[in-house]
Chain A
């Protein structure tokens, strides 16, 4: 298995030097993979951009960045029937469990990962339409955000590179 991974990396090594991650979801299980991929790509010398739109904007909101949640509802991967997920307190419980497991695996917190991203040169872009629709002024975004842009900028940032939509 490792061999295959290695060969693929070799074949791709020469091509893409840019990575754009579009984050449209605002739950912990969506934000973590986005940041992990972004930060790892940056250590590999890629120019990395993250575009935060719709619920993804919550990930860069000062009020919510430190309290991202995992929802057991609409998540068939959770080890419980969906109907139980609707009971009050279930989201908090699932979130607590996930946080505990993350800590055990020595995974940094989401705010820490944003600091790391910044340190590695990852560029963070907030979607202007989402900010307007959700009533999120620029002041409520975390300091790590570089700018507020639209779809055209995002398309040009992704041109010729890898694009991941979450």
Chain B
């Protein structure tokens, strides 16, 4: 059973708490183990919030990249809730 790992980009720019987390969670629900989700956000709380979500849900925070006017948060799905 070979599945191709997906790389999704979710654009939550302009949306504030809890928007980015909700968007991330929606992507997480439709994802498979090994998938990578890239979240774009302008909400200043997104960094801390996604970090907290990742810790709580047991997934992996790959990177947080500061771009011009927004941040790119890369999350790898390493745990799916049953």
Contact = CB atoms under 8 A, between A and B. Distances in A.
Interface size class of A (residues with CB under 8 A): 10 to 19
B48 interface: yes
Nearest to A37: B18
B6 interface: no
A29 B15 CA distance: 18
B55 A106 contact: no
A2 B48 contact: yes
Contacts of A2: 47-48, 51
A87 interface: no
Interface size class of B (residues with CB under 8 A): 20 to 34
Given A13-B55, A44-B52, A45-B56, A105 B22 contact: no
B17 A106 contact: no
B53 interface: yes
B52 A5 contact: yes
A40 B18 contact: yes
Q: Which secondary structure dominates chain A's binding surface?
A: helix
B27 to A, nearest CB: 11
Interface string B20-45: 01101100000000000000000000
Given A6-B48, A43-B25, A36 B18 contact: yes
Given A43-B53, A44-B52, A44-B57, 20 more contacts: A5-B52, A6-B48, A6-B52, A6-B55, A9-B55, A36-B18, A39-B18, A40-B21, A40-B22, A43-B18, A43-B21, A43-B22, A43-B24, A45-B56, A45-B81, A105-B14, A106-B14, A106-B16, A107-B15, A120-B25
